[in-house]
Structure 1
Amino acid sequence: MSSRKFSIVSGFFLQDDQVHATPATIGALPPRFGLVDDSPECWSKFKSRIAELNDNASSGTTYKVFFLGRHGQGWHNVAEAKYGTRAWDDYYSKLYGDSEMTWGPDPLLTALGVQQAETARTAWLKEIPNGMPTPQRCFASPLHRALSTWQITFASDESFPQVMRKVMILENLREEHGVHTCDMRDSRSLIERNFPPPTYGFELGFTEEDAVWQADVRETKDHIKGRAQSVLDRIFDDTEETYISITAHGGIINGILAAVGRPSYSLPTGGVLPLVIRGDDV
């Protein structure tokens, strides 16, 4: 696998403005997913511009469009809001739940989380007839909340193209791991029972048991950035397709942002962050 230098091509989406993009103002799913151009031909012009970038790129340079989706609200999100981030990080995240809810291991979506994924599906269904490019490859975290979000958003509607209704599960797309029980994953066998083939596929070498989560060591931001870089390298190496969907978590999404040289972005649960990413061979 080769290594690349990645960067953001700005000017397409509200969210790619590193200075003025404010997640709380933009929201989870802004009109046109944040595309700045609001003309009737906005998506056809966008696709033409992306094709032009690739057609005119020098050898070793490729442009891809990523739709980075964060899972809908999970029970761990409710628990952190209930206890506050400091108490959550210091104590409650190490438990499996309280008298009101269970958040570990691998918590489920709440009713609101399901609704957020349904809202994302509605947003896609609204824009596709307007010419919005659809993902040609889908990738997802192995954690239940991410796979459920992907399932509700894409797999549950047969009007989406067939290629959009299959997903590859990558270990490196999981959330920041260690210490917090919500970031433990289920066994491969259990994941496969809940999310069966052929809709769901596992990357080669995906282990039966969770081999990375540790009860006493929290993953560092540098490590997250490194595995995000490996995901980008893999996608740029192994896929010829231009339009890519990733359904994952806030931590790994910010790892991807770090790998492409931009600040973190507090994407709301159920939100989608679209980015044009340039990859240059090094």
Structure 2
Amino acid sequence: MGIKAYEPVQGFFIYDDPSQSSLPAVPPRFGLKDDSDDRWAKFLGDVRKLNEDAPEGTSYKFFLLSRHGQGYHNVAEAKYGTIAWDDYWAKLDGDGEIIWGPDPKLTPVGIEQAHAARAGWITESQFGIPAPHKRYCSPLTRALHTCDTMFDGVYEKYEQRVFVMEHCREENGVHTCDRRNTRTHITSTFPHFSIEDSLTERDELWHPTIRETKPEVAERARKVLNYIFDHDKEHTFISITAHGGWITGFLTAVGSQPFIVPTGGNGVLPIVVKARVQDLLN
């Protein structure tokens, strides 16, 4: 019996350079260093070779993490400032002008940002990036809408439907924007998405006075990693559409340097992750 240890594999993307603290939300080539016409075939071939040469108990996957586009809660936080937002306004549903809770939608700007990410997919598909082997998404509306828009019509066929997981949601509690809608609402609004069986009808995880900690978010991200490496063994290219706080938790879980995906705007972050089973007895 063992547990999985995760670590990032560096060298493929511009994000691997610690000096790259500021990059476009959707950088050219999704941040891939190689700018050749067959760049994605070569890169995915490199990942395949890593798996072919890996010892037993070790495997590699390429994750493309996407943050949702601007939501109405982002507009409100910008309006009042982060301190006032966290201390007071985030606990309310709105201010009489903006409604941001529960589970706010994308703003028109956020929808445009999702379309910009879609344009990135269209461009890179012309240079060989395939449809992700598996697509995961947060159950919050802003992420679902971003994911739906981002992949709409880019490829003629997807191997599987988007899979909605509770553990991909944003840092939870206190902020009404992070209280999700009902399962019925998700099913009726995004009928072409698949939802994990354990996702309850009503949000039973959000708490009005207890905010999830950063380590707790990282642990949730780790559970998603465990699930993917256990259940998607044949899939090497994984897309996850989520949130800034969750993506930070993901990077923490794999031991990667922090990189802030732009607040209030859709952004992408690519990373290759190595998983290795550790024997608990050693």
With normalisation by structure 2, the TM-score equals 0.94
Q: 2:95 aligns with which of 91, 95, 98?
A: 98
Q: Shift in Å at residue 6 of structure 1?
A: 0.7
Q: 1:243 aligns with which of 237, 242, 259?
A: 237
Contact (CA 8 Å) 1:65, 1:276: kept in 2 or not?
Answer: yes
SS of the residue corresponding to residue 163 of structure 1 reads coil
Query: Which letter does structure 2 place at the counterpart of 1:174?
Result: R
Query: Which letter does structure 2 place at the counterpart of 1:253?
Result: I
User: Which residues in structure 2 correspond to 1:1-282 (within 5 Å)?
Assistant: 3-17=3-17, 19-22=18-21, 24=22, 26-154=23-151, 156-157=152-153, 159-163=155-159, 166-196=161-191, 199-239=192-232, 240-268=234-262, 269-282=265-278
Q: Shift in Å at residue 277 of structure 1?
A: 0.6
SS of the residue corresponding to residue 250 of structure 2 reads helix
Query: Which letter does structure 2 place at the counterpart of 1:259?
Result: A
C-alpha distance in structure 1 between counterparts of 2:68 and 2:52, whole Å: 34
Q: Shift in Å at residue 30 of structure 1?
A: 0.8
Query: Which letter does structure 2 place at the counterpart of 1:152?
Result: T
SS of the residue corresponding to residue 65 of structure 2 reads strand
Total equivalences in the alignment: 275
C-alpha distance in structure 1 between counterparts of 2:34 and 2:155, whole Å: 26
C-alpha distance in structure 2 between counterparts of 1:182 and 1:264, whole Å: 24
C-alpha distance in structure 2 between counterparts of 1:123 and 1:51, whole Å: 24
SS of the residue corresponding to residue 203 of structure 2 reads coil
Cα deviation digits, residues 27-69 of structure 1 (max 9, x gap)? 1111100101112232221121111101000101110000100
Task: Provide structure 1 residue ranges, at least 5 long, that are not aligned to the other structure.
Answer: none
Task: Provide structure 2 residue ranges, at least 5 long, that are not aligned to the other structure.
Answer: none
Contact (CA 8 Å) 2:121, 2:154: kept in 1 or not?
Answer: no
Q: Shift in Å at residue 160 of structure 1?
A: 4.2
Q: Shift in Å at residue 21 of structure 1?
A: 2.5
C-alpha distance in structure 2 between counterparts of 1:176 and 1:113, whole Å: 20
CA spacing shift, 1:190–1:47, aligned 2, 3 Å? same
SS of the residue corresponding to residue 12 of structure 1 reads coil
Identity over the aligned pairs, expressed in percent? 48
